[in-house]
Structure 1
Amino acid sequence: MDDDSRLNRWDRRTDLVLGVASLVFLGSYAVHVLLPRLPNAAHVFFLALLYTAWAMFAVDYAVRWRLSGEGPGFVRRHWLDTLVLVLPLLRPVRVVRTYESIQRRRGESRLSLHARVAAYSTLSISLLGFSGALAVYQVERSAPHASIRTFGDALWWTCSTLSTVGYGDYVPVTTLGRFVAAGMMACGLALLGTVTGSFSSWMLQRFALNEDERRPPES
C-alpha cells in the first residue's frame, strides 16, 4: 500500500475524533477565559482537557508526517497544518473539514458548490472570530490603557476586524494582541475574498444561463 493510501485511511479514521477534539479545545479555552472565578479544580480540569486535545493534534501531525513519506518536505508542503499546530486556536476550523468528510462518505451533498463555499466560509469566519475574540480578550483585559475590557468589546472588535472595516474604537495595545489582530486581518481578507469570488462566479453563471435561454434556437 502506498503512502498516499495510508495517509488517506488515517485521515478518514481520525476526522471525526479530531473534529470533536477541536470543539473540546475551543470549549475548554472559552470556559478558562470567560469564567475566571471558577474553583481552581475546575480550571485544572478544563486546562487538562485543553492540553489533551492539543496533544492529540500533535500526535496526528506526527503520524501524518510519518505516513506521508515526505520527510522534512512535509512541513513545507503542509505549512497550514504546521501553523495550526503552533497556533491551536485555529484548530476549530477543522470542524468544517470534518463535516465535508462526512458529507463525502454519505454521497453527493445536497448543496451546490457555491452554497457549500458560502456555508463553510461563514462557519470558518464564525469559529475564527470567536477564537480570536477569546485570545484578544485574555491578553487585553488587564493591560494598562487597554480599550478592550469586556468580551463584548472583543467580539465587536473581531467583527470590525474580520469585515476589514476597522472603526478604531477598540484596538489591541499589547504585542500579543496585535499579533492576533494581524492574523485576524489576514484570515478576514482570505475568507471574504473566497466568498466574494464564489458569489461573483455564481452571478456570472446565472447571467450566462439567462443569455442562453434568451438566445433564439438555431434553425
Structure 2
Amino acid sequence: MDDDSPMTRWEHRTEVPLAVASLLFLAAYAVLVLAHGLLPGGRDVCLAVIAVAWAAFLVDYLVLWRLSGQGPRFVRTHLLDTVVLVLPLLRPLRVVKLYDAVLRRRGEPRLPLYARVIFYASIAVLLLGFSGALAVYQAEYQAPHATIVTFGDSVWWAASTLSTVGYGDVTPVTPRGRTIAVAMMVCGLALLGAVTGSFSSWLLQLFSREGDEKPPGS
C-alpha cells in the first residue's frame, strides 16, 4: 500500500518545483560566474534567483521537519536535504529526483534498480562536475599563482577529479578551492563505486540468466 502521509504528499507536490528551482539556481550561478562583463542589473537578477531558490529549499526543509515529527533526528534521516540546504554546490542534485516524479505521474514502470543507480549516478556526475567546475573557477581564476585560469581548465580539473584520475596538471591553490576539491573527491569515489557495483550486479544477473537458459546436458 502506498504511503499517503502528509509528508509523502508534500514531497510529491514539491519534487518538480524544487527541481526547477535547482536548474534556475544553476543557470543563475553559471551566468554570475562566467559573465565577467555582466551589468549590475543582470547581477542583481542572478543573485535574486539564487536567493529565491535557497529560500524554496529552506521552506521545503522546514516543512518536512515539521511533518516528520522527528525533531532533531530529522537531520540524520534526511542527510541529502540537509547537505543540499547547507552546501550550494550540491543544490543542482535535486534535479535527480525529477525522473522518478515524471514516471510516477505518467504511471510508467520504473527502471530496474541497477539501471536506476547508473542513471542517477550519471546525472549526478554531470551536475556535480559542472557545479564544481563553476565553484572552483570562481575561487581560483584571479588567485595568485593559480593554474586554473579559464573555465576550460576548471572543467578539465573537475573531470579528472571526479573520475579519480587526478592528473595534477591543474590544481586549486586557494583554501576554498581545495575544500571544494576534497568534497568532489569524496563524491567521485562514492559515485564511481555506485556505478561499478550496479554494473557488476547487472552483468552477474545477465550471465546467471544465460546460464539458466542453456538446455540440459549442454
TM-score range, shorter chain: over 0.9
Pairing 1:23-172 to 2, within 5 Å after superposition: 23-109=23-109, 111-172=111-172
Question: SS of the counterpart of 1:160?
Answer: helix
Q: After TM superposition, which residue ranges in structure 1, 4 or more long, deviate above 3 angstroms?
A: 108-113
Structure 1 residues 140 and 173: CA distance shift in structure 2, 3 A: same
Report Cα offsets for 1:169-189 as digits up to 9, x if no partner.
010011110110011011111
Question: SS of the counterpart of 2:5?
Answer: helix
Q: Which amino acid aligns with 1:138?
A: Q
How far apart, in 2, do the equivalents of 1:79 and 1:14 lie? 18
How far apart, in 1, do the equivalents of 2:156 and 2:121 lie? 19
Unaligned 5+ residue runs, structure 1? none
Q: Which amino acid aligns with 2:62?
A: A
Unaligned 5+ residue runs, structure 2? none
| More displaced 10-residue stretch of structure 1: 57-66 or 206-215 | 206-215
Report Cα offsets for 1:112-164 as digits up to 9, x if no partner.
43332222211110000000000000000011111000000000000000000
Whether the 8 Å CA contact 1:4–1:68 is kept in 2: the answer is no
**RMSD (CA atoms):** 1.5
Report Cα offsets for 1:89-131 as digits up to 9, x if no partner.
2111111112212212322336443332222211110000000
Q: Which amino acid aligns with 2:156?
A: W
Whether the 8 Å CA contact 1:137–1:154 is kept in 2: the answer is yes
How far apart, in 2, do the equivalents of 1:215 and 1:205 lie? 18
How far apart, in 1, do the equivalents of 2:189 and 2:56 lie? 30
| More displaced 10-residue stretch of structure 1: 4-13 or 156-165 | 4-13
- Normalised by the length of structure 1, the TM-score is 0.94
Tell me the equivalent position of 1:195.
Answer: 195
Percent of residue pairs identical: 61
Q: Which amino acid aligns with 1:96?
A: V
Question: SS of the counterpart of 2:152?
Answer: helix
How far apart, in 2, do the equivalents of 1:123 and 1:143 lie? 31
Tell me the equivalent position of 2:207.
Answer: 207
Question: SS of the counterpart of 1:51?
Answer: helix
How far apart, in 2, do the equivalents of 1:80 and 1:118 lie? 18
